[in-house]
Amino acid sequence: MKVLITGGAGFIGSHVVRLFVNKYPNYTIYNLDKLTYAGNLANLTDIENKPNYKFIKGDIVDADFINELFAEHQFNAVVHLAAESHVDRSITNPLEFVFTNVIGTVNLLNAYKSIWSVSSPSPLERAGVRPLFYHVSTDEVYGALGDTGMFTETTSYDPHSPYSASKASSDHFVRAYHDTYGLPVVISNCSNNYGPNHFPEKLIPLCISNIKNNKPLPIYGKGENVRDWLYVVDHARAIDVIFHTAKLGSTYNIGGHNEWTNIDVIRLLCKIMDKKLGRAEGTNEKLITFVKDRAGHDLRYAIDSTKLQNDLGWKPSLQFEEGLDKTVDWYLANEEWLTNVTSGAYQKYYESQYVKR
């Protein structure tokens, strides 16, 4: 069984690749990644020499390259994670998000369609494996909630940022290929992930890095926006279960039932890191700095993952406090990783986003 995982050098993708490579030695896992600023092969050093793992550097926006790749390898299944993933970058450069998230996804769908056939048993079906195009998406496609309610799989799409608009568009294309051509697809929409290997442009790793370096912790607006946090390994576990058992054509929401305001997340992080860095209680909180809000900032996300829990038996394994503690330990133990990703282009990005904000 040949499984293509796109974006496998990124934050979530690297955890999915690791889980599949270790748990399924009889699958060959191909990791296709462009290695943008967010892709990092240092996330995968523990599995890079495994016999069932292969890395391919490439761009999903390049249709000719993608078509040739699928023709050559005849992948049985695809888990598609490659994307531009940061909302703030989508506000400054929306077109990049259209290229990768929309056109890149359609290129993959076309290539997969060309090696899969509805009318006669395809080579994949003859080989006795379930063909699947699994599209990994986000809860941001549903828009924003007020003080109450949760996103379910039937909530209408209402994306607000260029990032979420591009992901919503890609979700629609995936469903369209199922409804029009019968392509065997599955989609999952997940809430905010956190954990090891998270690029420090996102709230939690950015603040871990800044606390370590005694730098201000930039909180947008009043810090009252709410996110539903899930440990990244629990997301990878959900992807594993959905990949193997979900009904074709279906959608699953994935979330931690774990809502926090941003300011409370950062206060908790400050407390954890006071202890770990041997600083007096309250020291890190003094770094909190309220800055200009994100344009179009969604107030609240909350995921109802009852369908996934009841139908497929998945549930999160970690409490937030425990997961955050483990995450901080990972960053403190992987100083070189953090130094490498925060040098060079990151400094320019940081300056453009935060200096004079």
What amino acid positions are annotated as catalytic residues? 139-140, 163
> How far apart, in whole angstroms, are the C-alpha atoms of residue 73 and residue 112?
11
86 or 135: whose CB is closer to ligand DAU?
86
- State which residue, 44 or 287, has the beta carbon closest to ligand NAD: 44
Alpha helices in 161-261 (DSSP H): 162-181, 203-212, 232-245
Integer-rounded Cα Rg, in Å, for the chain is 20
Nearer to ligand DAU, 78 or 265 (CB): 265
Distance CA 136, CA 240 (A): 12
Q: Is 225 in the site for ligand DAU (CB under 6 A)?
A: yes
Which residues neighbour 319 within 8 Å (Cβ) at sequence distance 6 or greater?
none
CB of residue 218 to ligand DAU, shortest distance in Å: 4
**Least gap, CB of 303 to ligand NAD (angstroms):** 10
- Asked if 209 interacts with ligand DAU (CB under 6 A), we say no
| Among positions 139, 171, 234, 259, the unique one binding ligand DAU when judged by CB under 6 A | 139
8 Å CB contact between 8 and 44: yes
Residue 86 binds to ligand DAU (criterion: CB under 6 A): yes
Question: Diameter of the chain by CA atoms?
Answer: 69
Token representation of residue 143: 């828009």
| 3-state class (DSSP) for residue 23 | helix
Please report whether residue 89 would count as binding ligand DAU according to CB under 6 A.
Answer: no
CB 221 within 8 A of CB 183: no
* Helix residue ranges per DSSP H, the chain: 11-23, 63-73, 87-92, 94-97, 104-114, 123-126, 162-181, 203-212, 232-245, 262-276, 306-312, 320-333, 335-341, 345-354
Determine which residue in the list 169, 191, 197, 327 makes contact with ligand DAU, applying CB under 6 A. Answer: 191
* Residue span 15-54 as binding mask against ligand DAU, x where in contact by CB under 6 A, dash where not: ----------------------------------------
N residues, the chain: 357
Residue 259 vs 325, nearer CB to ligand DAU: 259
Q: Which is nearer to ligand NAD, 131 or 195 (CB)?
A: 195
Note the residues at the interface with ligand NAD (CB under 6 A).
6-7, 9-13, 33-36, 38-39, 59-61, 81-85, 100, 104, 136-138, 167, 190, 192-193, 199
Helices vs. strands in the chain: H and E counts, helices first: 14, 13
Let me know the angle formed at the C-alpha of 83 by 77 and 89, rounded to the nearest 5 degrees: 175
Part in contact with ligand DAU (CB under 6 A); list of ranges 50-58, 84-92, 145-153, 280-288: 84-92
- From 34-42, 98-106, 138-146, 337-345, span contacting ligand DAU (CB under 6 A): 138-146
210 binds, among ligand NAD, ligand DAU, none (CB under 5 to 8 A by kind): none
Among 220, 229, 320, 331, binds ligand DAU (CB under 6 A): 220
Q: Quick check: 300 binds ligand DAU (CB under 6 A)?
A: no
Give residues in contact with ligand DAU (CB under 6 A): 85-87, 138-140, 191-192, 202-203, 206, 218-220, 225, 227, 262, 294, 301
